[in-house]
Amino acid sequence: MPAADFSKHLDRVDDDSLTPLHANHVKALRLSAAVTAIPLALAALVAEAVGVLPSGAVMLPASVLLAWYVVRLPLRRYRVRGYHLGKDRLRVVKGLLFRRDTVVPFGRVQHIDVERGPIERLFGLATLILRTAGTHNASVSLPGLSEQDALAMREAIREKIRRDMV
Partner 1 sequence: MSTQADAPPRRTDPRGLLIKAIRGMGGAILPIAAVLVGTGGTEAAPVVVMTLLVGFFVGALLLAAISWYRLTYTTGPEDIRVEQGLLSLSARSVPYERIQDVSIERPFLARPFGLATIQFETGGGAKDEIDLRYITIEEAQRLRHLVRERREDVRDDERDSAVSLASATRSPPMFAMGPRRLAVFGLFEFSLVVFTLLLAAAQQLDFLLPFDIYERENWVRLFEGQRDRITGSGREGPLLALAGLIGVVALGIVTGIVRTFARESGFRLEHTSRGFRRQRGLFTRTDVTLPVHRVQAARVDTGFVRYRFGWHGLRFVSLASDSSGSSSHAVAPFARLEEIWPVVRAAGLEPPDETTEWRRPLPGPWFWRTIVIASVLALLGLVVSLVRGSALPLAVAAVAAVAIAVGHALAWRRRRYAKDDRQVYVRQGNLAPKLTIAPQIKLQTVEIAQGPIARWRGYASLHLGLAGGTLAIEGVPVAHAGVLREQIVDRIAAVDFSMLAGDPGPRVSGPPSP
Closest distance of CB 80 from partner 1, Å: 11
Closest distance of CB 17 from partner 1, Å: 12
Tell me if 104 contacts partner 1 by CB under 8 A.
Answer: yes
Contacts for 34 with CB less than 8 Å, ≥ 6 apart: 70
Query: Please, are residues 146 and 83 in contact by the beta-carbon 8 Å criterion?
Result: no
Tell me if 15 contacts partner 1 by CB under 8 A.
Answer: no
Tell me if 111 contacts partner 1 by CB under 8 A.
Answer: yes
- Between strands 89-94 and 125-132, the pairing is unpaired
Can you tell me the distance from the alpha carbon of 12 to that of 6, in angstroms, rounded to the nearest whole number? 10
Q: Give the range of 4-12, 25-33, 44-52, 74-82 binding partner 1 by CB under 8 A.
A: 4-12
Instruction: For the segment 126-165, give every residue that binds partner 1 (CB under 8 A).
Output: 131-140, 151, 154, 158, 161-165
Instruction: For the segment 42-61, give every residue that binds partner 1 (CB under 8 A).
Output: none
Element (H, E) at 85: strand 82-85
- Furthest CA-CA distance within the chain: 74
CB atoms near residue 155 (< 10 Å): 11
Encoded one letter per residue, x for contact with partner 1 by CB under 8 A and - for no contact, window 70-99 reads: ------------------xx-------xxx
Query: Please, are residues 116 and 127 in contact by the beta-carbon 8 Å criterion?
Result: yes
Q: Which is nearer to partner 1, 18 or 41 (CB)?
A: 18
What residue ranges bind partner 1 (CB under 8 A)? Answer: 1, 5-6, 9-10, 12-13, 88-89, 97-118, 121, 131-140, 151, 154, 158, 161-166
